[in-house]
C-alpha cells in the first residue's frame, strides 16, 4: 500500500533492515534521528518549505537507503495509542517530491520511547506501528505516514552522525528522567511560556540540568550532552 503518494509499504515477516544503523544526533536546540542502510542513495526527498524536513533517500532501484527525521520542538501532552504493530519495508514507486515533517514530539522516560508525529494523535486515527528494525519504527495514521518512533532512544544518542554509539553503558532511569527534564525546558511550549526569552531558558538549563550531568554513566553521551548544553548556555545566557 502507498503510505505517501510516492512511497509503498510492503509488510514482511521479519525486520528487513536489521543491519541498518540508527543514530539520534543530539543538540540541545535541535536533533535528528537517522537510519542508514548499506545501500548507496541515489534519490532523496526535497526539503520541506519549513526549517525541519523529514528526508527519505532511496537507491536507483527504489530501495530504502536512509531516513533523516527531525525531532520537532513542541511537546505533545497527551498519549499515544497504537492499534496494530507490523513489520515491513518501504520502496519508492515514482519520483519523490517531499514528505511533510512531524510537528510534535513525545519523550516518555519511563517507557524509554521517543515518538514524533505530524499532529496530535487523537482517537479518530487508527495508528499502526511499522517496525523497520529493532527499536525503530514508522507510524501510520489510517495507513498514511504519520511519524516515527525510537525505543531506547538514549542508547542511540551521539553528537555527530558518524560517531559510535556506546553499547557498553546503556542509559538508566536517572538518565532518562534527566533528558526528559531537559527536553521539557527547551521545548517550544516552555519557550512560549517564557515569552521567547532564551536567556531564561538557558538559566533553567544551567541551574536544573547541567549540575546533574554526572548522572550519565556513558562517557561519550555525557561529553556530548555537556558540550551541547554549555554551547547553548554560552550563546543565550
What per-residue confidence (pLDDT) applies to 225?
Answer: 96
Report the alpha-carbon angle 94-144-9, nearest 5: 55
Stated pTM of the model: 0.92
User: Given CA atoms 96, 46, 31, 221 in this order, what sign does their dihedral have?
Assistant: positive
Model pLDDT, residue 54: 84
144: Cα separation from own chain's centroid? 18
Encode the chain (237 residues) as per-residue pLDDT tens digits: 999 988 999 999 999 999 999 999 999 988 999 999 976 767 666 554 455 668 898 988 889 999 999 999 999 988 889 999 999 999 998 776 678 899 999 999 999 999 999 999 988 889 999 999 999 999 999 999 999 999 999 999 999 998 999 999 999 999 999 999 999 999 999 999 999 999 999 999 999 999 999 999 999 999 999 999 999 999 998
Domain residue extents for the chain: 7-156, 163-236
Q: How high is the pLDDT of residue 52?
A: 61
Give the pLDDT confidence score for residue 88 in this predicted structure: 97
CA distance 191 to 63: 40
Residues whose CB falls within 8 Å of the CB of residue 193, separated by 6 or more in sequence, listed in order? none
The answer to whether 190 and 218 are in contact (CB under 8 A) is: no
User: Among 107, 29, 25, 104, which residue's Cα sits nearest to residue 66?
Assistant: 25
Amino acid at each position: 500500500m502507498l503510505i505517501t503518494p510516492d512511497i509503498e509499504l510492503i509488510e514482511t515477516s521479519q525486520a528487513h533492515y536489521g543491519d541498518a544503523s540508527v543514530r539520534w544526533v543530539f543538540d540541545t536546540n535541535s536533533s535528528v534521528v537517522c537510519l542508514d542502510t548499506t545501500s548507496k542513495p541515489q534519490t532523496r526527498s526535497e526539503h520541506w518549505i519549513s526549517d525541519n524536513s523529514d528526508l527519505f533517500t532511496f537507491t536507483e532501484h527504489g530501495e530504502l537507503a536512509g531516513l533523516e527525521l527531525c525531532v520537532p520542538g513542541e511537546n505533545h501532552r497527551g498519549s499515544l495509542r497504537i492499534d496494530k504493530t507490523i513489520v515491513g519495508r518501504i520502496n519508492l514507486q515514482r519520483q519523490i517530491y517531499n514528505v511533510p515533517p512531524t510537528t510534535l514530539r513525545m519523550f516518555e522516560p519511563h517507557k524509554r520511547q521517543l515518538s514524533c508525529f505530524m499532529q496530535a494523535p487523537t482517537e479518530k486515527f487508527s495508528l499502526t506501528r511499522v517496525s523497520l528494525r529493532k527499536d525503530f519504527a514508522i507510524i501510520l495514521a489510517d495507513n498514511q505516514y504519520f511519524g516515527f518512533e525510537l525505543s531506547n532512544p538514549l542508547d542511540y544518542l551521539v553528537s555527530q552522525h558518524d560517531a559510535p554509539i556506546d553499547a557498553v553503558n546503556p542509559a538508566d532511569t536517572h538518565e532518562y528522567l534527566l533528558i526528559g527534564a531537559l527536553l521539557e525546558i527547551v521545548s517550544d511550549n516552555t519557550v512560549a511560556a517564557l515569552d521567547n526569552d532564551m536567556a531564561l531558558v538557558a538559566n533553567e538549563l544551567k541551574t536544573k540540568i547541567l549540575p546533574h550531568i554526572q548522572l550519565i554513566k556513558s562517557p561519550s553521551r555525557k561529553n556530548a550532552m555537556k558540550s551541547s548544553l554549555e554551547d547553548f548556555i554560552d550563546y543565550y545566557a
